[in-house]
Structures are given as structure tokens and as C-alpha cells.
Structure 1
Amino acid sequence: MLRKMLMMFLVFILFMTSQVGAAKRGIVEPEVVYTYEEMMKDLSLLSVKNKDLIEVISIGKSTFGKEIPALHLGKGKKQVLFVGSHHGREWLTTSLIMKMIETYADAYNKEANVGHYNPKILDEVSIWFVPMLNPDGVEIQQKGLDSVPLGHQQLLMEMNENDLNFKRWKANGIGIDLNRQYPAGWKAINGDTPYASFHYYKGTAPLEAVEVKALTRFILKENPLISVAYHSSGRVIYWSYKNDKRVVKRDRAIAKKLTNLTRYKLAKPPKTAVGGGLTDWFITYYKRPAFTIEIGYDVNETSLPLKVFPEEWKRNKAVGLLIADQANKLKNIELN
């Protein structure tokens, strides 16, 4: 009898320990290969847990019909935007964004700061997150040939130079580089890759890719004050693309705050760089601040290793609230 009671007690202790561990881990588990399915499940759980703070919508569908979700966090009328996984192999940016969402929601509910930033800024400025703009590309990079319809597999092989290893895959499902699809400097992008490929193909026209078309339509509707695109790799922040002279000082000042927080290098694109990126278009169209943040140390044509996540999270965990705080301080944003 005593042995039975002891066994029951040990089972109870193990159960409670596992529950405490699960609660401590939270919903999002970023230190695993983070898939589209995992993201969709976590978005649903986060919205149920934070009904008064979070709303999840679809901004459109990918080439192969996957919903592209956007999550609205906060109660403020002003808005900023964060976008992850333009490129298939850069899915750790999705992990980072999802961890950011959960952390900010928990901090808001507990009235606890994130770094030096008070999450109550979300009462003034809401954050829109598009965690994975390119779900087809992410699936191709993670799962390879079997992730696409059978009738598309031969073409996929050709776009990947007949290599069965898809770890370098950047493009969307039909070989278009989504960050070379925006209507700012698109014509100046060279033709080094003049056909559909695992990387660098700009398409036949800007906004050709359905994913980019969906995002630009969403941006024009929601009118965010600041835009941030997460990429990998290099630990560098780009902030400048033909910025209006009237706002260069303003935009550089925010960029410096970002580099002070993340300890990433602040950089301008080289003179030989061309446009076509999300932040290039946002800066020139709105004359508002936009930043491309490259997480992780340099890796060569592959995804970042999972082991870098704790360090990149440490550097970036307060970035969303910093951007919201800066958006709340912006003046003279409607420039002609």
C-alpha cells in the first residue's frame, strides 16, 4: 500500500513538473525547425489566449494556396509592421517574430517591461506581424521536393540546378525572389538570373508574385508608420534607400537606436546595390522609416543553425517595442 502511494506521489510530482516546464516554455518553441504548420497552430493558440489583445487575419494566399497570416497586437490606432521569411531559408526570422508576439502579449498582461520598454505602448501603437510571407519557399527549404505538387517537381528540380538538396532555397514556389519584387528600383536590378531560380530572379514585372501583391495591398490598407523586414544573415541593419533629404536625420537616429539595442552593425547599401526590396519601396513611397534587419552571423546559402537563436533573441527581443515607441514620437509623416 505504501509503495503504491509512493508511486502515485512520484507520478503526480512528475506531472506537475512537466506542467510547470510547459508553462515556462510557453506556446512558441523557437529552438526547433519551425514549420508553417507549427506557426499556424501557435497563432491560433496565441489568439485564443489573448482575445482582447490579438487578432489574426489572412492577407492572401501563396502560390500553392497556403494562407498568409497577419497578426495584430495591441489597441493603439497608430500601427507599425514587421515581416519575416521573405526568403525560404530565412525561416528563423519567423521563429523570432513568433517569440516576440508571445513575449509582448505576456508582458502586457503581466504589466512587466521587456528590457527598458513598457509594453503599454501597445495602447498607443499596435504592431502588425506577418511572420512568414513565403510559406511555399520555407516548406521547400525545410522539406524538399515532396513539399510541392507532383506536377511541379520537375520544374522545381530545374530551378534548383537539378540538386536534390534544397537548403539554399530563397525563392517562392515558382522561383521568384520576393525581395526583388517591389516597385522601387526594380528595373535597375541586373539580369544575372534571368529565369526562375532558387535565388535572385526578379520576375517579369514588379508585384508579379502573389505573396508580394498581397503584402503591398495590405500595407496600403493599414498605412503603417514604420516597417521592419527581418532577414538573415550578417548581424547588420540597413536603413537607407534614396531617403528624402528632409527625413534622413530622423531615420538615421532611429537606426542608431536599433544598432545600440541589437549591437548589429549599421550600414547603408553599397553604391552598386539595387532596389526591389520591401523597405526600399516603403521608404520611397511613404517617406517613412523602414529597416532591414539581418539576424545571425554570416552563413553561406543556408538557414541559420538553431543554436544561434538564444543570442539573436537576446539582441532583438525589445526591437518591436522600440519601433512602436519611435512610431509614437514621429512627426510630419505626411510628406509630398
Structure 2
Amino acid sequence: MKKITIVMLCLVFLLPFPGDILAKELSRQEQYTYEEYQRDIWKMKSKYKKKLEVHTIGYSEYGRKLYGIKVGTGKKSILISGTHHGREWITALMVMKMVENQVKEEDLYNRMGDYSIWFVPMLNPDGVTIQQGEVRKFPLFSRMAIKKMNEGSKDFAHWKSNGRGVDLNRQYPAGWEELEGESPKPSFKNYKGEKPLEAKEVQAIVSLTDKIKPTLAVAYHSSGQEIYWQYNNKENSERDRDIASKLAATTGYELGKPDPDAIGAGYTDWFITTYHLPAFTIEICPSVEETSPPLGTFADEWQRNRNVTEVLLQEAKQLENIHKRNLDYR
């Protein structure tokens, strides 16, 4: 009877992902590592072939490849990223699950039309590797520096930064100068760097964004089950709040309340101010302290987020129609 119970419990966790490359026995408290992530990318490429393209968009500070995965053939695009922060590696799994769902579901893939979706699931592989306790995978001369940035502790569970101690989501030229009260030197969290755009990982995603010029952007973070959409949106506030409300309805997450005193320097802050287009920070998983959410929460979070790409595609096409109408009135 005990063996039957154990098998049934495992099946419960596996049911949302039958036959998928990313299927996991989610009842176990595992980690999603950079190495697993790489293997999953190439398994997907082998299985789905022409439906997706795998690009190297740059390299981390310690030389780990940063991947961009393009799904679809359309010239217009949406960009979805994950894992700006090392301890938020569960967002890489979320974005990878989105990739697989987008290519596996024929109806969903075919409805993309003249749009492609670019996915950058793990922007901070160095930070992920450190947070998961694999400091031995770094050069010997760097290990002492990493430990020093971690305040001498051998427990790296709270690590947010990249391998050089820079917080990637405090690196963008949108309110960077105004950031105060942050760490004054390289650290496991909250150090904004000596200047914006100095981190190689940030340079990579900014370069990709400038190249593809997406209509919409989403950055996945954890945790809190909340959606942030507002940063100097100005005349576009109503437009962006409307899309954010639809994402909140789809996921069941709270809609973040605008803070008039908010200071930015995050990716979506930069995207909004640079392109005057909508961008959303989606915080998945129930709130946890300064660590990674347990992998056992993933099945429920995926059910909440599985329709996000469909909402984004609908809204991107709607934005395009509004733009066309505005041109017709001129």
C-alpha cells in the first residue's frame, strides 16, 4: 500500500507535463541547474527542429553562454526573459516551459501569425550556479572573492547578483543615478555597479532588445505572485494598466499599485522609457524569504502562467491595430 501511495503522489506532480521534455518529479526539492537548462534547450531543438531557433546572444562574466530562443518566423516580436537574479532560477524553468508549450501546441503556434516570441530563460547563469552552492565551478582565484561578497558565509541560498557581485536588475539606464541606499560595493545583492550597462549579461539582453525591437516585453522574477507594470508610463498608463489587468486575470496574481516615488534601473523600467511600449515584471510563486522558491510550487505556477503568451500575442496585435488607425487619422 505504501509503494502504491508513493507512486500515485509522483503521478500527481507529473500529470501537468505528460510526454514533455521538461517533465519532472516535482515532489522532490530539486534545483534547475544551468547544465540541465542547456540540455533541455538542445533536446527541444532536436525534437521541434524548425519551429525554434537557438541563438547565443552573449556570454556571462565567467563565460557561460547566454541563450536566446526564437519561436516562430514572424518579423514582429515579443520578448520574455527570466532569471535576472541567481536565486530566481525557477523562472528559467517557467520560461522554458513556455517555449515548449508554444512549439508543442499546434493551434497556439499557428496563431502566432506574423509574430515571433523570443525567450531568454536564464540571463544570470553565474548567479544561479553560485546560489546553488556550486562555487567550485568557478576559477580558484575567484572563489575567495565570491565568498567575501557573500559576507564570508558558505551558504549562498540568498545570492541574487551575477558572478561579479552586480545586481543585474539594477543595471539599466532608467533611474540608475537615483538609486540610493544600495550596497556600495560588489555583493550578493543590490549592488548597482559603477555605471549602467557594465554587466555583460545586461549588455547581451539590451543588444538583443535593440535588435528585435519587441512590441511587448515581460521579465519573470520570484516571488510574490504580483505583476508590476508602471514606471514613467505617462500618457500610456491607461493602455499599460489595461494589459496588466488582463495578465492579472489570467494568472490570478495581484496587480501592483503604482508608486509615485518608485526608482527604477530594472529591465522593464528601461524598456518602458526607451520604447514607450508596455513591459511587465511578473513575480511568480508565493512569497519566500531571501532564497529560491521550492520547486514543488512549479506545477501550480505553470497552470497560472500557461496562457500568458496567448494574452501577450493578442495584446501585441491589438497595439498594432491601434497604431495603424492612428496613422490613418493623420
Q: After TM superposition, give the deviation of residue 77 of structure 1 in Å.
A: 1.9
Contact kept in structure 2, 1:75 and 1:126, CA below 8 Å: yes
Q: Secondary structure at the match of 2:283?
A: strand
Q: Which of 326, 329, 332 is matched with 2:323 structurally?
A: 332
Residue 271 of structure 2: aligned partner:
282
Residue 106 of structure 1: aligned partner:
104
- What residue ranges of structure 2 are gaps of 5+ in the alignment? 1-14
Contact kept in structure 1, 2:85 and 2:168, CA below 8 Å: yes
Q: Which of 137, 146, 157 is matched with 2:147 structurally?
A: 157
Name the amino acid aligned to 2:90: L
Name the amino acid aligned to 2:133: K
Q: Which of 67, 73, 76 is matched with 2:74 structurally?
A: 76
2:233 matches 1:243: yes
Q: Secondary structure at the match of 2:247?
A: helix
Name the amino acid aligned to 1:43: I
Between the aligned partners of 2:199 and 2:258, the Cα distance in structure 1 is 24
Post-superposition Cα deviations, 1:261-307, rounded to whole Å, max 9, x if no partner, equal 00100013534431100000000000000000000111000000111
- 1:203-218 equivalences in 2 (<5 Å): 203-218=193-208
Q: Secondary structure at the match of 1:217?
A: helix
Q: Which of 106, 110, 114 is matched with 1:120 structurally?
A: 110
Between the aligned partners of 2:323 and 2:48, the Cα distance in structure 1 is 34
Q: Secondary structure at the match of 1:128?
A: strand
Q: After TM superposition, give the deviation of residue 148 of structure 1 in Å.
A: 1.7
Residue 262 of structure 1: aligned partner:
251
Name the amino acid aligned to 1:26: D
Residue 292 of structure 2: aligned partner:
303
Contact kept in structure 1, 2:133 and 2:155, CA below 8 Å: no
Post-superposition Cα deviations, 1:168-201, rounded to whole Å, max 9, x if no partner, equal 0000000000000000000011143110000000
Residue 160 of structure 2: aligned partner:
170
2:219 matches 1:229: yes
Name the amino acid aligned to 1:70: G
Q: Which of 42, 60, 63 is matched with 1:62 structurally?
A: 60
Contact kept in structure 2, 1:140 and 1:166, CA below 8 Å: yes
Contact kept in structure 1, 2:182 and 2:192, CA below 8 Å: no
Mean Cα deviation higher: 142-151 or 229-238:
142-151
Contact kept in structure 1, 2:91 and 2:221, CA below 8 Å: yes
Q: Which of 15, 29, 32 is matched with 2:23 structurally?
A: 29
Mean Cα deviation higher: 276-285 or 38-47:
38-47
Residue 10 of structure 1: aligned partner:
none
Contact kept in structure 2, 1:179 and 1:277, CA below 8 Å: yes
Between the aligned partners of 1:167 and 1:25, the Cα distance in structure 2 is 32
Contact kept in structure 2, 1:119 and 1:321, CA below 8 Å: no
Q: Secondary structure at the match of 2:105?
A: helix
Contact kept in structure 2, 1:145 and 1:164, CA below 8 Å: no
Q: TM-score, normalised by structure 1?
A: 0.87
> Could you tell me the percent identity over the aligned residues?
46
Contact kept in structure 1, 2:231 and 2:262, CA below 8 Å: no
- 1:84-95 equivalences in 2 (<5 Å): 84-95=82-93
Cα RMSD over matched residues? 1.8
Name the amino acid aligned to 2:84: H
Between the aligned partners of 1:284 and 1:218, the Cα distance in structure 2 is 17
2:63 matches 1:45: no
2:312 matches 1:323: yes
Residue 138 of structure 1: aligned partner:
128
Mean Cα deviation higher: 24-33 or 302-311:
24-33
Between the aligned partners of 1:310 and 1:227, the Cα distance in structure 2 is 24
Q: After TM superposition, give the deviation of residue 25 of structure 1 in Å.
A: 3.5
Larger Rg computed on CA atoms:
1
Q: After TM superposition, give the deviation of residue 151 of structure 1 in Å.
A: 0.5
Q: After TM superposition, give the deviation of residue 41 of structure 1 in Å.
A: 1.1
Q: After TM superposition, give the deviation of residue 145 of structure 1 in Å.
A: 2.4
Post-superposition Cα deviations, 1:116-173, rounded to whole Å, max 9, x if no partner, equal xx44222232100000000000000113421321100111111000000000000000
Contact kept in structure 2, 1:144 and 1:164, CA below 8 Å: no
Name the amino acid aligned to 2:213: N
Residue 12 of structure 2: aligned partner:
none
- What residue ranges of structure 1 are gaps of 5+ in the alignment? 1-20, 112-117
Residue 11 of structure 2: aligned partner:
none
Aligned length: 305
Q: Which of 162, 174, 192 is matched with 1:202 structurally?
A: 192
